[in-house]
Amino acid sequence: MKKQFASIAIIGKYMDPNALQQMQHELAQLVQHLSQKDIQVWVEENTAHHASLVGVNTTTLSEIGTQVDLVVVMGGDGTMLSVARSLYENQLPKPVPLVGINRGRLGFLTDLRTEDMLVEIDKILAGDFQAESRMLLEASVYRAGVQVLNGVALNDVVIKSALRLMEMEVEINGQFVSKQRADGLILSSPTGTTAYALSAGGPILHPDLNAISLVPISPHTLSNRPITVPSECVCDVTVMQADDAQLSLDGQYQQTLNVGDQVRVIRAEQDILLLHPKGYCYFDMLRNKLNWG
């Protein structure tokens, strides 16, 4: 019988050498554990280098998705966001499942604890898991009718001015919605509604919903409230006035915006696939992470 996960990639918090050194023991333990199960193990090259893992198969982040059946991410939500975008941008024919081991703070996306990781990984390898699709957002920036940026975000696309109010026009499916003055606007997937959008007063959307939430950041008019639209909608935001506007994807990639730039946000063609331990409950996660009691 063919193994469901015959090859597995391990990615640590590859952007942070200090963090990788701190989790060196756990990474080595996981590599050894999987290798003993006759699984082909690949380690992202920066992870292997900074965690001093020797004698392991290494590969680049951009190539991982074409080589493995499962990706294990050890880090925080930021690492998971970055890995999810990388897998999507390599245009795989189908999503590669992601498992998150939490070495960050909140861990909305990385729900395995390091002290339980080997037991929980074994359960996943045995097929004892829950799979969950999460939609991504695709953002394009048009300047004088020419596309100057195209990228994806798992959490949110943020249009923001750092120093003063900016003016924007918002259209949904070509229909005018509003002209608003605010510090910015967050266009969030359901996954992202527990991130920046939540701190800006937006609603929490269950990840099973197919929707995009538009949340203003410190709007000048108090009646300017968040709005949620179906994920099939085309959301267009035009920068009407701003001195220092920027667009960011998951808070990790930034693009300077000019007056007249149009930002178009749609649902991405492909979802990502998360694997959770059996018995995972989204509401339990919210209650624990947000201290609802």
Q: Is 77 a catalytic residue?
A: yes
Is residue 173 in a domain? yes
If one counts the domains in the chain, the total is: 2
Same domain? 107 vs 228: no
Same domain? 70 vs 170: no
CB atoms closer than 10 angstroms to residue 250: 27
Q: Checking phi first, is residue 17 left (phi over 0); if not, alpha (psi -120 to 50) or beta? A: alpha
Of 98, 109, 125, 113, nearest in space to 10 by CA: 98
Confidence of residue 65 (pLDDT cuts 50, 70, 90): confident
What is the CATH number for 126? 3.40.50.10330
30 lies in which domain range? 7-135+271-289
Which member of 38, 77, 128, 208 is catalytic? 77
Is residue 90 in a domain? yes
Strand partners of residue 137 = 153, 267
Same domain? 97 vs 214: no
Is residue 2 in a domain? no
Same domain? 11 vs 124: yes
Instruction: Indicate the residue type of 192.
Output: G
Q: Which residue has the tokens 């957002």?
A: 137
Same domain? 130 vs 141: no
Average pLDDT, the chain: 93
Same domain? 93 vs 109: yes
Same domain? 102 vs 209: no
Same domain? 85 vs 145: no
8 A C-beta contact, residue 243 and residue 161: yes
3-state secondary structure the chain: CCCCCCEEEEECCCCCHHHHHHCHHHHHHHHHHHHCCCCEEEEEHHHHHHCCCCCCEEECHHHHCCCCCEEEEEECHHHHHHHHHHHHHCCCCCCCCEEEEECCCCCCCCCEEHHHHHHHHHHHHCCCEEEEEECCEEEEEEECCEEEEEEEECCEEEEEECCCCEEEEEEECCEEEEEEEECEEEEECCHHHHCHHHHCCCCCCCCCCCEEEEEEECCCCCCCCCEEEECCCCEEEEEEECCCEEEEECCCEEEECCCCCEEEEEECCCCEEEEEECCCCHHHHHHHHCCCC
Q: Summarize pLDDT for 209-235 with one digit per residue, the tens.
A: 999 999 999 999 888 999 999 999 999
Length of the chain in terms of residues written: 293
Q: Summarize pLDDT for 160-211 with one digit per residue, the tens.
A: 998 889 999 999 999 999 999 999 999 999 999 999 999 999 999 999 999 9
Same domain? 98 vs 113: yes
* Higher per-residue confidence, 111 vs 136: 136
Is residue 49 in a domain? yes
pLDDT of residue 1: 47
Separation CA 37–CA 171 (nearest Å): 53
Give the C-alpha distances (Å, rounded to integers) separating 190 from 80, 131, 206, 254, 277: 16, 16, 6, 21, 21
What is the CATH number for 186? 2.60.200.30
Complete edge-to-edge strand list for the sheet that includes strand 253-256:
227-230, 211-217, 184-188, 156-161, 245-249, 253-256
Query: For the whole model, what pTM was predicted?
Result: 0.93
Q: Summarize pLDDT for 265-291 with one digit per residue, the tens.
A: 999 999 999 999 998 999 999 998 898
Is residue 70 in a domain? yes
Same domain? 69 vs 150: no
Instruction: Indicate the residue type of 190.
Output: P
Task: Give the Cα-Cα-Cα angle 68, 70, 72 (nearest 5 degrees).
Answer: 115
pLDDT of residue 91: 60
pLDDT of residue 222: 82
Same domain? 38 vs 51: yes
Separation CA 185–CA 168 (nearest Å): 9
167 CB-contact burial (10 Å; exposed 0-12 / middle 13-18 / buried 19+) = middle
Is residue 1 in a domain? no
150, two tokens: 């195209």
Separation CA 100–CA 119 (nearest Å): 14
pLDDT of residue 221: 87
Same domain? 194 vs 284: no
